[in-house]
Structure 1
């Protein structure tokens, strides 16, 4: 069973997904997968190319935005563009989901789209503590 965590109507995040979970993502109505995990981070991690092939076979868009540690401006902007440019709901994933929601939330805070408090509350509801990442 997948661990897709709803953040907003347009974004959910998840710990590392398997190739089999790509079909579940499609069935749940996701249009885009964002992989925030660098390839080769762990020996048991599925290769990004395998997830990408499964996504394309399901008709899903796939974007690879590897984040190592705290996201920088390039990763934040790429994540914002990928989410904003998606034709439907987005599922972003990494090892635990933390880098995915952090990268997205920093972009939301910097653009003024959401307040720090709103983002921390959304993170908490999804099971993530964003207070440190958002300066608190």
Structure 2
């Protein structure tokens, strides 16, 4: 498990396992967001399995599948809603953490400076510079 904090209340990670969930809870997280579609992972990591294990560990679980290269505004609004509903620290995961970083940045356009939305994930190797124009446009519209 490789937890990469973007803020004090939002961290991203590459794929986690059900066996990681007790440690995630012990680390202070209250919720987990799965940003991977079931179609790209084996059945033992599907959302239904992960949800059961997360809830058994005392964590809220949200599934918001982001298809690589096909991120939608619905994904962005669902991520923002999950973060808000969690009411505490959230760990979001996907294959590498990149999609989790992208939906976080887009969900916070206009609330956090665009440079920070790009630079914070960059500290963990996530390159979001290509989203700059979209982040700026969302900041202006929202």
Tell me if both proteins adopt one fold, taking TM over 0.5 as the criterion.
yes
* Counterpart position of 1:74: 74
* Counterpart position of 2:95: 95
| Superposition RMSD in Å | 1.6
Give the drift of 1:135: 3.1
Q: Deviations over 1:6-32 (max 9, x none)?
A: 100110000110111111110101001
TM-score w.r.t. structure 1 length?
Answer: 0.91
Between Structure 1 and Structure 2, which shows a larger proportion of helix residues? Answer: 2
TM-score w.r.t. structure 2 length?
Answer: 0.87
Aligned length: 133
Q: Distance in 1 between matches of 2:66 and 2:81?
A: 15
Alignment of 1:1-136 (within 5 A): 2-43=1-42, 46-68=45-67, 69-109=69-109, 112-135=110-133
Contact residue 70 and residue 99 of structure 1 kept, 8 A: no
Which is further off, 43-52 or 23-32?
43-52
Q: Which runs of 5+ in 2 are unaligned?
A: 135-142
Q: Which runs of 5+ in 1 are unaligned?
A: none
Which is further off, 17-26 or 69-78?
69-78
- SS of the aligned residue for 2:52 comes to helix
Q: Distance in 2 between matches of 1:82 and 1:43?
A: 24
Structure 1 stretches of 4+ moved >6 Å: none
Contact residue 31 and residue 89 of structure 1 kept, 8 A: yes
